[in-house]
Structure 1
Amino acid sequence: MLTKGDDFPLHQSAEPIAFSGTDRNFYDRYFFNGYASDGSVFFAAAMGFYPQLGIVDAAFCVLIDGVQHNLRASRRSAGERLDLAVGPISIRIDAPLEQLTLKILANDGPLSGELQFTGRHFPIEEPRFTRRNGTRLFMDYTRMTQNGHWSGWLAVGGQRIEAGADWAGTRDRSWGIRPVGAAEPQPPPEGNFHQFFWLWTPCNFSDRSLFFHSNDDGAGDAWNRRAVLADSNGGEHHFADPSFAAEWQPGTRRLQKLTADLDGSTRLTLTPAGPLFAMSGLGYTHPVWGHGFDHGGLEVAHDRLSEAERAWGNPLAMHVQALVTAELVDGDRRDVGIGVLEQLFVGPHAPTGLTGLMDPAA
């Protein structure tokens, strides 16, 4: 099966580009978020290719005036991986690793726009995420992350909003293996995972970006953790052994404050101070619009989540991103910026006091 990608020198095996190994869970994904510095607008977008499933899907979401508007689209891909459009949602790569454009065509829903992302620094390659469930490979993927600025516009219900000079955000690209599409009919003998602890904190400061993330097991041991400071001149400072402490909102599994000690003299404090975005808008854990689900030919849908529907307890709002105020103390230097605190906590986590499957923090 030949596709457009075969005319580019990108092959890494004797197979055409359309064939991505043998694992049905292989995926290749774009993610974006962006926000006004005052929190008045938050948006996010994603596009995922699932070559073995023959599916590509995308979503664009805007959170404004307390309401999260979600646009979703899915189609069959026929193995073509260079067609970066799914219905009204498309991505254009203007300068690889530097600049991309996200375009949302007017349709029968409330959202449209054209937004250009320009990176502040060279993308950061995160440590490879590899996790097994007994003998079965659960995750094995690579991700690159980049902070940047936004220009352009978006519209909600016909109200056009120009991106201000203060609009910032993050984009990532990830590819590899993680569960996608319909559930596998035969789980591993040990059963499926019932524990997943995930923190991700891309932060924008005046002249630097900071990234901290942690995947922990139930005992609190990190199986993937990293912190790095990046500057616009290409400099990167990696921290060997960061640690963190969590303060919970009472009666929930949502963070009231996160403090990360990066190396004894560098400390990051994140305090939620803006809108709370439900990642289900982009398909994460969504029962109908989950990643790689087959909707047949092109299917486009719209829905919305009110502030009440994004409250703790709704399964569609267990995986969230919170806009945060970020304070970085680095020796004698203190910076205050803005960022995002992504959080998904399922099952126990001994150091922070989480017990049970979804029991609220004490």
Structure 2
Amino acid sequence: MITPRDELFGHASAAPIHQVQVRDTPHSVFTERFWYMGTVKPAGDMVFALGMGYYPNRRVMDGFAGITIGNVQYNYRASRRVGEGDLAIEAGALRIEVQAGLRMHRIVLAANESGIEMDLSFIGTMDINEEGRETITTRAGVIADLNRYAQCGRYEGWIRVNGNRIDLTPATCWGARDRSWGLRVEARTDETTPPVTHISPLLYAFFCAQFETRAIHFFLKEKAPGAYRFIAGSESGPFGEGAPCAQVLSVAHELTWHDDPLGQSLKSGSFTVGFADGRSKTLQVRALPGRFFHKGGLYGGLRGWFQGDDKGMQYAEHDRYDLACAADRTVLRTAGEQVIEIRDGDQVGYGTLQCGVSAGYPKYSSIQQHPAM
């Protein structure tokens, strides 16, 4: 059972806090991570994302914050070395404060050279959606043992971009976050620093969406339709009301894609979700304009910098990408947040979807010439 204490850095394994520290392996790194995203409904034409990772075996903490407005994605990244007993969730100009576990987080990106600043409160308006534990064992032993939960909510505060302030309110700024810890394997997709991880035939979909009074989250990885490598998720109700979460047992999909020469871009489609309580519902999905690519946060690596690398006592950098530029899109690849509108009958919700398809997956062949991640 997740408790407010799990919001704090300092886990020793993917299990409860008292267990002995798990060591890194040649294939994976013990990581604690926060991740957040938000968008403004109903337009969905702006999306921000940020995160912080702690790598206890390396004594390193790093983080990122960014925002996409129109066709421009702005990114800030920072890293620092962590001293004994130092678990402040901060790096460079970015810090995260857990003000009330499972309920209220404050996110601050102080003035810096990137041109973006933030002072946001994430308000957990929905109960958390637990994924539980994902463990992967190979001939080399256990290479992944990870615990994650997601939570939908609202944001309040402001973001400043090149001196222009954007005020955000809970009525229209909706989003989600996740919290994870454990031994993690991540695909290396930075082509400037080979080798690049080979991805076998796969569809992945990380879905976080909410309506006024409920949220649905699932994480799907499958090698063919219905042939799951991993599936987890649930439907949850308003925070603190005590309504039981309905576990997700199955996800089927029919997706259409933009004819985008620069990458994989969802256009619309449906997800049919089956729950442990016997219900099934088909969610109609339409992609909205907002897009934030995870390369801006070092997912998969960027120009030789990978999450958890030791960059010295303090290090920060920033950049921006033109999402209409072929060269920039080649660097950014596919993995990222795509803002979506969701319809369940006459109810309308909003969220983001991370989704990609690798070569050899027996569906959606028209987009498989582009990288899945």
TM-score, length basis structure 2 = 0.82
**Equivalent of 1:327, from 343, 351, 373?**
343
Q: Which amino acid aligns with 1:242?
A: V
Instruction: Please name the residue that 1:211 is paired with.
Output: 217
| 1:106 is aligned to 2:111 | yes
Aligned partners of 1:181 and 1:290 also within 8 Å: no
Aligned residue in 1 for 2:4? none
CA contact (8 A) 2:75 2:320 kept: yes
Residues 85-120 of structure 1: CA distance to partner in whole angstroms, max 9, x if unpaired? 101000001101111000111122201121000101
Match runs of 1:287-298 below 5 Å: 287=302, 288-298=304-314
Moved more, 65-74 or 171-180: 171-180
Matches within 5 A, 1:85-234: 85-164=90-169, 165-179=171-185, 193-195=198-200, 196-217=202-223, 221-232=227-238, 233-234=241-242
Which stretch of structure 1 is more off in the superposition, 195-204 or 217-226?
Answer: 217-226
What is the CA–CA distance in structure 1 between the aligned matches of 2:237 and 2:94, rounded to whole Å? 31
Partner of 1:281, secondary structure, is helix
Q: Identify if the C-alpha distance between structure 1 residues 181 and 241 changes in structure 2 by more than 3 Å, giving closer, same or farther.
A: closer
Q: Which residue of 2 aligns with 1:186?
A: none
Alignment of 1:44-55 (within 5 A): 44-55=49-60
Structure 2 CA distance, aligned partners of 1:95 and 1:107? Answer: 27
Residue 32 of structure 2 is matched in structure 1 by 28
Match of 1:258 among 254, 269, 277: 269
Q: Which secondary structure does the structure 2 equivalent of 1:314 belong to?
A: helix
AA of the residue aligned to 1:225: I
- Deviation, 1:356, is 6.8
Determine the C-alpha separation between the residues in 1 that align with 2:187 and 2:208: 28
Aligned sequence identity (%): 24
- Which residue of 347, 350, 358 corresponds with 2:362? 350
The separation in 2 between residues aligned to 1:282 and 1:150, in whole angstroms, is 20
Counterpart of 2:317 (choices 291, 296, 301) is 301
Runs of 5+ consecutive residues of structure 1 not aligned to the other structure: 184-190
What one-letter code is carried by the residue in structure 1 that aligns with 2:324? A
Provide the C-alpha distance between the structure 1 equivalents of 2:156 and 2:371, rounded to a whole number of angstroms. 41
Task: Please say if residues 148 and 168 of structure 1, whose CA atoms lie closer than 8 Å, have aligned partners that are also in contact.
Answer: yes
Hey, what does 1:282 align to over in structure 2?
Answer: 297
Contact persistence 2:186–2:300 (CA under 8 A): no
Distance 1:231 1:127 in 2: 18
Bigger mean CA offset, 128-137 vs 101-110:
128-137
Which residue in 1 is equivalent to 2:333? 317
Q: Give the paired residue count.
A: 338
Tell me the SS of whatever aligns to 1:280: helix
- Superposition deviation, residue 359 in structure 1: 7.1
- The 3-state SS of whatever aligns with 2:296 is helix
Q: 2:68 aligns to what?
A: 63
> How far 1:141 moved relative to its partner?
0.6
| Alpha-carbon distance change, 197 to 140 in structure 1, aligned in 2, over 3 angstroms | farther
Distance across 2 between alignment mates of 1:328 and 1:181: 34
Unaligned runs of at least 5 residues, structure 2? 1-8, 190-195
Q: Does 1:245 pair with 2:254?
A: yes
Moved more, 29-38 or 212-221: 212-221
Structure 2 counterpart SS, 1:290: coil
TM-aligned CA deviation for residue 355 of structure 1: 9.0
The normalised TM-score by structure 1 is: 0.84
SS at match of 2:80: strand
Provide the rounded CA distance (Å) in 2 between the counterparts of 1:40 and 1:259.
Answer: 21
- The answer as to whether partners of 2:342 and 2:350 remain within 8 angstroms in 1 is yes
Aligned-partner residue type, residue 126 of structure 2: H
Contact 1:197 1:344 in 2 (8 A): yes
Q: CA deviation at 1:66?
A: 2.1
Cα distance in 1 for partners of 2:82, 2:186 equals 15
Q: CA deviation at 1:352?
A: 3.9
Structure 1 range deviating more: 340-349 or 139-148: 340-349
- C-alpha displacement of 1:138: 3.7
Are the aligned partners of 2:45 and 2:288 in contact in 1 as well (CA < 8 Å)? no
**TM-superposition CA deviations, 1:301-342 (whole Å, max 9, x none):** 11001122478961423212110111113xxxx311111111
Alpha carbons of structure 1 residues 182 and 359: separation in structure 2 relative to 1, 3 Å: closer
CA contact (8 A) 1:348 1:354 kept: no
